[in-house]
């Protein structure tokens, strides 16, 4: 028996702007692990809270994703914004990397 195959398109990449930052509803599959590595806390103790447009580590504005951790809320830089079934941010675009957080 042959099953129908659904083609899966790649998510659309959106520019990282203040307007698009406000549209983010979730995080990528590597973000929790990246935050865990950055702060050396268990993955099951990290929760996505929200996004906000604000200051980065330099004197420039950027999109940040806020994660609740055992060390308090941490603000992590959004490198990419993707649109699939919903809009999500990528704080860790490369699997195995740390998130860049304040």
| Residue 28 located in a structural domain | yes
**Predicted local distance difference test score (pLDDT) of residue 17:** 96
pLDDT averages per 10-residue partition of the chain, 102 residues: 61 95 96 97 97 86 96 96 94 93 88
| Residue 101 located in a structural domain | no
pTM over 0.85: yes
Question: Which residue range forms the structural domain that includes residue 79?
Answer: 12-90
**Predicted local distance difference test score (pLDDT) of residue 72:** 97
**Predicted local distance difference test score (pLDDT) of residue 18:** 97
Question: Rounded CA gap, 89 and 23, in Å?
Answer: 9
Question: Rounded CA gap, 59 and 10, in Å?
Answer: 33
pLDDT in tens, 86-96: 999 999 989 99
Q: Residues 15-27, buried b or exposed e (16+ Cβ, 10 A)?
A: ebeeebbeebeeb
| Residue 48 located in a structural domain | yes
| Residue 97 located in a structural domain | no
| Residue 6 located in a structural domain | no
Query: What's the total number of domains in the chain?
Result: 1
| Residue 3 located in a structural domain | no
């Amino acid at each position: 028996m042959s099953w129908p195959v659904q083609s899966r398109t790649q998510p659309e990449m959106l520019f990282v702007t203040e307007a698009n930052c406000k549209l983010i509803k979730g995080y990528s599959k590597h973000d929790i692990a990246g935050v865990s590595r950055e702060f050396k806390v268990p993955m099951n103790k990290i929760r996505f809270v929200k996004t906000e447009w604000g200051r980065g580590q330099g004197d420039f504005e950027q999109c940040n994703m806020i994660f609740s951790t055992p060390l308090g809320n941490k603000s992590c830089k959004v490198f990419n914004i993707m649109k699939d079934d919903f809009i999500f941010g990528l704080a860790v675009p490369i699997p195995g990397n740390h998130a860049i957080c304040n």
